[in-house]
Amino acid sequence: MKRLIGIDWRLLLLGCALLVLSLGGAAVVDHFDDPRIGYFMLVQSLPYALAAWLIVRQGDAAIRRSGLMAILLVGLAMRLVLLPEPPVSTDLYRYIWDGRVQGAGLNPYLYVPADAALSNLRDSAVYPHINRADYARSIYPPASQLIFYLVTRISEAPIAIKAAMLTFEGIAVWALLALLAARNLPRSCILLYAWHPLPVWEFARSGHVDVIAIAFLLLAFVAVDRRSPILAGIAFGAAVLSKYFPVVVAPGLYRRWDWKFPVACLATTAALYLPYIDAGEKVFGFFGGYFSEEGFAQGSGFFLSQLLQLLLPLPQSWTSLYLLAAALVMLGLAFYVLFRQNTPAPDVGGAMLLAVAFTFLSSPHYTWYFAWLVPFLCFYPLIAVLYLTCAAGYLYFAHWPPTFAEGAVIYGPCAVLLCAEFAWQRRRKWEERHGNAVAA
Structure letter (DSSP) for residue 340: S
| Helix residue ranges, H only, 133-259 | 142-154, 158-182, 191-194, 197-199, 210-225, 229-240, 250-253
Distance, in Å, from the CA atom of 219 to the CA atom of 236, rounded to the nearest integer, reads: 8
- pLDDT grade for 440, boundaries at 50, 70 and 90: very low
The average confidence (pLDDT) of the chain is 90
With a cut of 60, say whether residue 2 has pLDDT above it: no
Q: What is the pLDDT of residues 172-192, one digit of tens each?
A: 999 999 999 999 999 999 999
Which candidate, 231, 199, 212, 189, places its Cα nearest to that of 54?
A: 189
With beta carbons less than 8 A apart as the criterion, state whether 402 and 395 touch: yes
Is 70 or 432 the better-scoring residue by pLDDT?
Answer: 70
**Total domains, the chain:** 1
- What's the confidence (pLDDT) of residue 1? 43
Could you tell me how far CA 293 lies from the centroid of its own chain?
21
pTM: 0.93
Distance, in Å, from the CA atom of 388 to the CA atom of 407, rounded to the nearest integer, reads: 11
Give the residue numbers spanning the domain of 110. Answer: 3-439
Q: What is the pLDDT of residues 81-136, one digit of tens each?
A: 999 999 999 999 999 999 999 999 999 999 999 999 999 999 999 999 998 899 88
With a cut of 60, say whether residue 437 has pLDDT above it: no
Structure letter (DSSP) for residue 303: H
Q: What is the mean pLDDT of residues 354-359?
A: 96
Q: How many CB atoms lie within 10 A of CB 429?
A: 10
Q: What is the pLDDT of residues 359-376, one digit of tens each?
A: 999 999 899 999 999 999
Distance, in Å, from the CA atom of 380 to the CA atom of 342, rounded to the nearest integer, reads: 20
Structure letter (DSSP) for residue 4: E
Give the rounded percent of residues in the chain with a pLDDT score beyond 90: 72
Q: What is the mean pLDDT of residues 206-211?
A: 97
With beta carbons less than 8 A apart as the criterion, state whether 42 and 393 touch: yes
